[in-house]
Amino acid sequence: MKAIVNVFLKNGVLDSQGKAVQHALSGHGFGTVSDVRVGKQIIIEMNESDATSAKAKVAQMCEDLLANTVIEDYQIEIQA
């Protein structure tokens, strides 16, 4: 079973990297870009058969280590 974790800065926490990328894209003629958020993706292979249990474990990993919930939100997708 595979877990895909996306970690992004919370809304309201300034994403300086996202802003820099947005400015670069706008400066390269992509004038329709109105916002960019830069985050990270963590892909975890697990020896689990139950998606609910796997998701609960990954959520605990996020709380303990993978995300800093003071400034970041996370989303978990479980793939068979």
Partner 1 sequence: MKTKVGIIQFPGTNCEYDTQNAFQALGCETFILWHKEDTLPQGIDLLVVAGGFSYGDYLRSGAIAKMSPIMKAVKSYADKGGKVLGICNGFQVLTECGLLPGALKRNEGLHFISRHHHLKVVTTNNTFLQKCTVNDVVNIPIAHHDGNFYIDAHGLKNLYANDQVLLHYTDETGNISNPNGSVDSIAGICNLSKNVFGLMPHPERAMEALLGSDDGCRMLEGFLSA
* Position 68 contacts partner 1 (CB under 8 A): yes
Helix segments in 1-80, DSSP class H: 16-27, 51-61
Contact call for residues 22 and 33 (beta carbons, < 8 A): yes
Q: Which is nearer to partner 1, 62 or 78 (by Cβ)?
A: 62
Q: How far is the CB of 6 from partner 1 (least distance, A)?
A: 14
Handedness of CA 54, 57, 63, 64 (dihedral sign): negative
- Taking residues 14 to 53 in sequence order and writing x for each that binds partner 1 by CB under 8 A, - otherwise, the string is x-xx--x---------------------------------
Contact call for residues 66 and 5 (beta carbons, < 8 A): yes
Of 27, 28, 70, 80, the one binding partner 1 by CB under 8 A: 70
CA pair distance 45, 25, nearest whole angstrom? 34
Residues that bind partner 1 (CB under 8 A): 9, 13-14, 16-17, 20, 64-66, 68, 70-71
